[in-house]
Amino acid sequence: MGTDWHRHKIVQEDFTAGQMMLKVMRSKPKNDQILCNATCLVANLSTSSEDQGGLQELLSCLCEIMKSDVKGSALLVQISRGVANFSAFPQNTDKLLQHLPVIVYKFLKSPDNIVKMHGMRAVLHLLSKKPSNTVEELLRDGAGDLLTNISRLPGVIDAIQTSLLTQAPSRSRPSFR
């Protein structure tokens, strides 16, 4: 997984060497493990704020792979993790919002719990950056899946309740408004 410096060097070297990661991802290899390893690398690299500009083509390619007929759950885990990592950065919001229906269908509705959690991470990042656009799309399909998945995560409801109680305590003195 390396340090930020190592990840940055990998992105630089890949660009200098002719964008080999992009070529591998676009090549549609017959061996799913090759694509799984490549998407794993991209997902790891996508955590670097410094390299988001240099990773845009890989993000687009990851979205194209996401839309395809992905067979293996290991590959879907890496794709969903990459999408969730990319969604943490504002410059990727508009591109990922275009793919929100696919994120809902492939990730939030997945039988794999890890894929669901990465899908929730992605949707929550988008929700924090463009709430109205995200909600509008989720109301078409996905809001129920998101809320159901959140409610099933251990500790999440308690954490939300605790956060709410800091702003709206269960006990208080009379107030005059």
pTM: 0.89
pLDDT band for 102, please (50, 70, 90 cuts): very high
Number of domains making up the chain: 1
Q: What is the pLDDT of residues 123-153, one digit of tens each?
A: 999 999 999 999 999 999 989 999 999 999 9
Whether residue 2 has pLDDT greater than 90? no
Is 156 a domain residue?
yes
Please state, in angstroms and rounded to a whole number, the distance separating the CA atoms of residues 159 and 153: 11
Q: Which range of residues forms the domain containing residue 24?
A: 4-166
Q: Which two tokens stand for residue 68?
A: 């395809």
Is 40 a domain residue?
yes
| Average pLDDT, integer, range 65-72 | 90
| Average pLDDT, integer, range 5-22 | 83
| Average pLDDT, integer, range 41-59 | 93
Q: What is the pLDDT of residue 28?
A: 86
Q: DSSP string covering the chain, please? A: ---HHHHHHHHHHHHHTT-HHHHHHHT--SSHHHHHHHHHHHHHHTT-GGGTGGGHHHHHHHHHHHHS----HHHHHHHHHHHHHHTTSGGGHHHHHTTHHHHIIIIIT-S-HHHHHHHHHHHHHHHHHSHHHHHHHHHHTTHHHHHHHHHHSTTHHHHHHHHHHHHS-SS------
Is 172 a domain residue?
no
Residue 18 maps to which CATH number? 1.25.10.10
| Average pLDDT, integer, range 107-136 | 96
User: 28: phi > 0 → left, psi -120 to 50 → alpha, else beta; which?
Assistant: left
Lowest-pLDDT range of 7-16, 32-41, 130-139: 7-16
Arithmetic mean of pLDDT over the chain: 92
| Average pLDDT, integer, range 25-39 | 91
| Average pLDDT, integer, range 154-165 | 94
